[in-house]
């Protein structure tokens, strides 16, 4: 599948701020089963981003705005070609007792941050009888058949900083929470697994898409294999991978700080569009974000006395 993806973030401030520093992860990976053909990034106010890759090869862009401004806009547009994976995660033949920690997988067996090892998590594992599953595929199949009966998909009951325990306590959450709970359940049973930040193309949806999250498990025979606990499904060509991490805190789509006495409001729009030919993308207009900046606070504007504030702005994945 050939997908054109646009991702627009707008950070609106209630008063003029002096400076902003931000990192974003919106550039899809190129790897087996997925090829990034084109990627454009627009930032307003105008800034020159720097790009580097983190310890897992995820692309990150970092930029600063150091004049007075009351909003920041970031837009990316990319063209990605995807294909179906060669293996079904629910059919993985690896015996659970044969999966042992290695240097490669150690980081993906650890609890911490939003993935909490707790009595609630253990109780859920017992209810689902995950310890009775003999193969990795049967564990994934049990999760696909049972997790949704214990956790309901519901927005606005958790936020970007919620833990797996928060979602378990609420009995509901979004894809970010489903991913964290699934990571915790798998790690309880010694199965290496990692968080995936990306996009999911859904047909016939009236509202714009949103970024999505799912997980991958480590199979000694097949390598990393994906599973979407929110939709209880295997990963197919409608999924686009942006970044891998131990959990969401490793790979949020955006994170940053600003200096100024203001409240920040984040709005996000993601649109995924299947296309037939690569040439369509190149014909699109350039991503130019016209956002003004000021050397001094503009006359007649309500500007508070500046102070050092940190806003670790993160977008919850849906």
Q: What is the mean pLDDT of residues 20-31?
A: 96
Q: What is the pLDDT of residues 144-199, one digit of tens each?
A: 999 999 999 999 999 999 999 999 999 999 999 999 999 999 999 999 999 999 99
3-state DSSP assignment of residue 17: strand
Query: What's the pLDDT at 308?
Result: 36
Residue 299 has pLDDT above 60, yes or no: no
Mean pLDDT rounded to a whole number for the chain? 89
Beta-bridge partner residues of 35 = 81
**Dihedral of CA 4/243/45/271: which sign?**
positive
Q: What is the mean pLDDT of residues 22-43?
A: 95
Q: What is the mean pLDDT of residues 15-35?
A: 94
Q: What is the mean pLDDT of residues 82-97?
A: 94
Query: What's the pLDDT at 305?
Result: 37
Q: What is the mean pLDDT of residues 202-210?
A: 67
3-state DSSP assignment of residue 197: strand
Query: What's the pLDDT at 9?
Result: 94
Query: What's the pLDDT at 41?
Result: 94
User: How far from each other are the two terminal CA atoms of the chain, in whole angstroms?
Assistant: 22
Query: What's the pLDDT at 310?
Result: 43
Residue 203 pLDDT level (bands cut at 50, 70, 90) = confident
Q: Go through the domains of the chain in sequence order and give each one's CATH number.
A: 2-82+252-282 (2.60.40.2250), 89-250 (3.10.620.30)
Q: What is the mean pLDDT of residues 129-142?
A: 97
Q: Which residues contact 174 (CB under 8 A, 6 or more apart)?
A: 153, 154, 155, 158, 230, 316, 317, 318
Measured from the Cβ of residue 152, the count of other Cβ atoms closer than 10 Å reads: 12
Q: What is the mean pLDDT of residues 91-103?
A: 95
Predicted TM-score (pTM) of the model is 0.90
Query: What's the pLDDT at 260?
Result: 86
Helix and strand counts by DSSP (H, E) for the chain: 5, 15
Q: What is the pLDDT of residues 247-280, one digit of tens each?
A: 999 999 999 999 988 899 999 999 999 998 766 5
Query: What's the pLDDT at 304?
Result: 43
Residue 205 pLDDT level (bands cut at 50, 70, 90) = low
Beta-bridge partner residues of 84 = none
Residue 290 has pLDDT above 80, yes or no: no
Outline where the chain has alpha helix (H): 119-128, 136-150, 164-170, 175-188, 279-282
Query: What's the pLDDT at 261?
Result: 87
Query: What's the pLDDT at 286?
Result: 60
More confident residue, 145 or 211: 145
**Dihedral of CA 18/252/146/102: which sign?**
negative
Residue 55 pLDDT level (bands cut at 50, 70, 90) = very high
For the chain, how many residues are written?
318
Burial of 139 (0-12, 13-18, 19+ CB in 10 A): buried
Closest CA to 165 of 153, 177, 148: 177
Query: What's the pLDDT at 302?
Result: 44
Query: What's the pLDDT at 20?
Result: 93
Query: What's the pLDDT at 131?
Result: 94
Residue 90 has pLDDT above 70, yes or no: yes
């Amino acid at each position: 599948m050939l997908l054109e993806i646009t991702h627009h973030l707008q950070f609106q401030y209630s008063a003029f701020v002096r400076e902003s520093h931000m990192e974003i992860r919106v550039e899809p990976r190129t790897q087996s089963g997925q090829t990034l053909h084109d990627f454009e990034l627009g930032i307003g106010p105008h800034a020159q981003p720097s790009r580097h890759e983190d310890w897992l090869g995820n692309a990150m862009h970092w930029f600063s705005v150091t004049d007075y401004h009351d909003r920041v806009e970031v837009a990316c547009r990319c063209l990605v070609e995807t294909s179906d994976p060669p293996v079904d995660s629910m059919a993985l033949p690896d015996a659970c007792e044969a999966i042992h920690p290695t240097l490669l997988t150690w980081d993906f067996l650890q609890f911490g941050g939003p993935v909490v090892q707790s009595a609630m998590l253990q109780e859920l594992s017992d209810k689902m009888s995950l310890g009775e599953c003999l193969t990795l595929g049967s564990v994934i199949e049990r999760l696909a058949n049972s997790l949704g009966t214990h956790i309901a998909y519901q927005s606005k009951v958790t936020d970007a900083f919620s833990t797996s325990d928060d979602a378990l306590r609420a009995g509901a959450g979004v894809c970010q929470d489903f991913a964290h709970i699934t990571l915790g359940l798998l790690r309880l049973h010694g199965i290496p697994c990692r968080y995936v930040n990306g996009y999911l193309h859904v047909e016939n949806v009236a509202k714009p898409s949103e970024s999505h999250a799912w997980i991958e498990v480590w199979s000694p025979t097949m390598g990393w294999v994906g599973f979407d606990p929110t939709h209880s499904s295997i990963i197919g060509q409608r999924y686009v991978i942006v970044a891998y991490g131990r959990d969401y805190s490793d790979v949020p789509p955006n994170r940053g700080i600003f200096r100024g006495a203001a409240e920040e409001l984040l709005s996000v729009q993601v649109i995924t569009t299947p296309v037939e030919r690569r040439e369509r993308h190149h014909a699109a207009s350039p991503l130019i974000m016209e956002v003004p900046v000021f050397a001094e606070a503009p006359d007649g504007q309500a500007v508070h006395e500046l102070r050092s504030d940190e806003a670790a702005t993160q977008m919850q994945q849906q």
